[in-house]
Amino acid sequence: MRIATWNVNSITARLPRLLAWLESTGTDVLCVQETKCSPEQFPTDQLRELGYESAVTATGRWNGVALISRVGLDDVVSGLPGGPAYDGAQEPRAVSATCGPVRAWSVYVPNGREVDHAHYAYKLEWLAALRTAVAEDAAGGRPFAVLGDFNVAPTDDDLWDPAAFVGQTHITPAERAALAALRETGLSDVLPRALKYDRPFTFWDYRALGFPKNRGMRIDLVYGNAPFAAAVSDAYVDREERKGKGASDHAPVVVDLDL
DNA sequence: ATGGCGTAACCCTTACGA
């Protein structure tokens, strides 16, 4: 089966591309982030016409995640159990479900904004809660993975220029330690191939010709447990989807499994 | 020449993104 993760930066704005991409790639399970829609606005009917079921956790203008599957969508859990609130509210940043042989999470980790911002502390709390929430499944015998926009570059190799990020979020030791703690539950980073250049960046800022200059970051990650990792036959970043008018600023990460 | 954007919901500007 083919499973993927994609921060679409508004599923409404991306819908024509999304539907065409699902058909052309034959993706079975897609983890979506930044739907930026209300549950009512989510394109459930259009996806059903293509043969996909949807599980949506969204509240409106900001954030929002979904799981889209044509191989089953069972035991849906909306939100991050035990997750922290921001400004008094739980934000829609996680949804999990069983899709055929795989238990999958779609996550949109908080951005953090600036290191001294309350959003940064919230980001670290959120990642700690994620670790607690996934620990049992990560250690289990069923293929399991957390896929999504982690808003952390795991290493300096995951940045077009580490010097450009000094003093900023996404690269701090505390954020990277939070990812390491998540991996300690039994998850490993499924590293995708790059289809061009040497490194598999997944995000390029819209501004300053980020994509043409390949000023990218790898922040969209697939963290799989041992049974999941053992089934991986290929993984790549579909940078073609970042091209042209109407692209998201993130490219999909695609993983093929012998399952 | 050293910057260059896109999105949604609010008004025509702002918040957010990383």
Residues A108-121: tens digit of each pLDDT: 999 999 999 999 99
The pLDDT value recorded for residue A31 is 98
The pLDDT value recorded for residue A60 is 87
CA of A141 to C1' of B18 (A): 35
Q: In this complex, which residue's CA is closest to the C1' atom of nucleotide B8? A: A61
Confidence of residue A239 (pLDDT cuts 50, 70, 90): very high
Q: Does A88 score more than 90 pLDDT?
A: no
* DSSP symbol at A225: -
The average pLDDT across A223-238 equals: 98
Is any atom of nucleic acid chain B found less than 7 Å from the CB of residue A243? no
Global pTM value: 0.97
DSSP three-state, residue A193: strand
Average pLDDT, chain A: 96
Q: Does A98 score more than 90 pLDDT?
A: yes
Q: In this complex, which residue's CA is closest to the C1' atom of nucleotide B16? A: A62
Determine the distance from the C-alpha atom of residue A114 to the mean position of all C-alpha atoms in its chain, rounded to a whole number. 21
Q: Which residues contact A161 (CB under 8 A, 6 or more apart)?
A: A215
The closest alpha carbon to A133, from A98, A171, A95, belongs to A95
The pLDDT value recorded for residue A150 is 97
CA distances from A157 to A153, A217, A219, A244 (A): 8, 9, 11, 26
Distance of alpha carbon A196 from alpha carbon A62, whole angstroms: 32
* Other C-beta atoms lying within 10 Å of the C-beta of residue A196: 11
Q: First-to-last CA distance in chain A? A: 6
The pLDDT value recorded for residue A129 is 97
Is any atom of nucleic acid chain B found less than 7 Å from the CB of residue A154? no
Q: Does A194 score more than 90 pLDDT?
A: yes
Q: Does A87 score more than 90 pLDDT?
A: no
The average pLDDT across A59-75 equals: 96
Is any atom of nucleic acid chain B found less than 7 Å from the CB of residue A59? no
Token pair for residue A94? 């996680």
CA of A190 to C1' of B16 (A): 29
CA of A34 to C1' of B17 (A): 10
Q: Does A67 score more than 90 pLDDT?
A: yes
CA of A246 to C1' of B15 (A): 21
